[in-house]
Chains A and B, each alone.
Chain A
Amino acid sequence: MERRDFFKKALTVAGTAAVGSTTTEAAQTVHPVDNRKVSDIAFPQKRPLITYSDRPPLLETPREVFTSALTPNDLFFVRWHMPIIPTYINPRTFTIHINGEVENKLKLSLKELKTKFEQVELTAVLQCGGNNRTAFKPTAGGIQWGVGAMGCAKWKGVRLKDVLKKAGLKKEAVWIGFNGEDKAVYNETANFVRELKLEGLHDDIIIAYEMNGEDLPYLNGYPVRLILPGFYSDSWIKMLSNITATKEKQKLHFMEKAYRIPDNSCECETPDSLAQKTKPIEEMNINSLIGYPVTGIKVKNDADLVVRGIAFDGGHSIKKVQLSTDGGTTWNNAKLDDGSQGKYAYRTFSYTFKPENIGSLTIICRASNEKGEEQPFAKDIKWNRGGYKYNGIDEVTVEVV
């Protein structure tokens, strides 16, 4: 490849004006858009991030952050649905209401949350269901995210189960609805309420007030948010202020229409033949990402190159991460960290080798887990209208000089 062509290819910069491509391209899944530039404006409590919208804030983390097990709070991605977000919350008066089919309606202050329940900590990946949406062709509906609508943090809080126990769920209770403090512009617009079925709730679901040892940033849901380890983040309600138990499923746009995939074995469909039956996106697919090197950089020939990245899944434990520099003909095992952060956390990996030829070099990585699942190649991932759950084998291309 000519040097000039290389850089043209490497620097596919979409910046803040990110747009998808047209349907005239082959309808085959590709690699997500990479190397978008961060904005020159930093949002409060954040460093400059890739910025898709300011109202509501939609911010993506750049690739190079994904070399460490925990994503720093000020680099953590941001996604809100409603444009009006409280810009000040008084921690002394903030209250979480628990109501509906309960014996005792509760109004919990932050202090009560921190003192009246067992405090628990867990590390978990928070990832938007539409992360990597730019991989899908034709362009799927929704924000055209690159690779960074995700992060991993150590969360501290209390078990949802313990809070519900204190309220005393009536036996009629089947669904639990969650709502935060973000609001639409018009009063008539329904709130962003999410529902979980009671029988699916496990002990690892927590209401968190701390993220990586600090208060949550406002844009990540200060003062408390719901943590659903192993699941995509559509129900990780931010600024959580209301929990309602109901007998019947509520009629909710965001549950009926959004964050759903075809209810078939491939979770796929075509634009001409959309699946009639859909299901919630729920558990995260196994995935991995190379944080270093990033596409477009130059590395020295015959010198150690240390590739670093992260791998994760829905909680079945990562077994191995393999790298290939020949397009997947031969694979080499990367070194994994000790896994002490737990099954819902990023597993960091590293792989050291010496590039042996001058010119363009593509490095790909593939994770597999204890359940026997393995990442597919991007081209083998089938389309869905929402562009959800992409987990194609990642690739970066460097220039060896």
Chain B
Amino acid sequence: MKTLIVILVLISSTLFAKSNTGITIPYVDFPMKEGKGMYSTKGKCNMCHSWGYTLNQGLQSKKFWREKVMKMIVVFKAPIKTQKDIDTVVNYLFENYGNGELE
């Protein structure tokens, strides 16, 4: 009887372990539009989040993209250090994911 219980416990614990071995989140490709500043932008944005998170904000104004980039720097501590780098990213975003409006 004891052996049976031990076996049952073992079986149930293996089953339990099987049911929670964690997950692996798949990689989904969100291609970036080719354009000036793409590689720089890729390096600065995509190290923290997927490009899907960016492009699915919709087509936006230059002001919107600049504010987003500043939020990433100020709130999320994105390592975009120089004004030149900021401008490169903002210009790439606006030229490729812009709505044509500056504000």
Contact = CB atoms under 8 A, between A and B. Distances in A.
A123 interface: no
A139 B60 contact: yes
Interface string A23-66: 11000000000000001011111000001111111100000000
A189 B100 contact: no
Contact of A23 (B20, B22, B57, B99): B99
Interface residues of A, number: 47
A83 to B, nearest CB: 5
Contacts of A83: 48-50
Interface string A256-274: 0100000000000000000
B19 to A, nearest CB: 8
A53 B59 contact: no
Contact of B64 (A53, A134, A141, A219): A141
Contacts of B97: 19
A88 B27 CA distance: 17
A186 interface: yes
A132 to B, nearest CB: 13
Interface string B68-103: 100000011111000000000000000001011100
A5 interface: no
A54 B28 contact: yes
Interface string B32-52: 000000000000000111101
Contacts of B24: 44, 87
B59 A58 contact: no
A218 B52 CA distance: 21
A53 B50 contact: yes
Contact of B49 (A24, A51, A56): A56
B15 interface: no
A215 B20 contact: yes
A142 B77 CA distance: 19
B56 A52 contact: yes
B100 A22 contact: yes
Interface in A156-197: 184-186, 188-190
B77 A189 contact: yes
Given A53-B50, A189-B75, A144 B58 contact: yes
Nearest to B49: A83
A16 B30 contact: yes
A55 B25 contact: yes
Contacts of B48: 83, 184-186
A139 B57 CA distance: 8
A87 B52 contact: no
Contacts of B55: 17-19
B79 to A, nearest CB: 8
Interface of A: 16-24, 39, 41-45, 51-58, 83, 85, 87-89, 91, 134, 138-139, 141-144, 184-186, 188-190, 215, 218-219, 253, 257
Closest 9 CB pairs of A and B: A20-B58, A88-B22, A53-B52, A44-B23, A54-B28, A139-B58, A22-B99, A55-B50, A53-B53
14 contacts: A17-B30, A18-B55, A20-B58, A22-B59, A41-B28, A54-B50, A58-B56, A88-B20, A88-B22, A88-B23, A184-B48, A185-B48, A186-B76, A215-B20
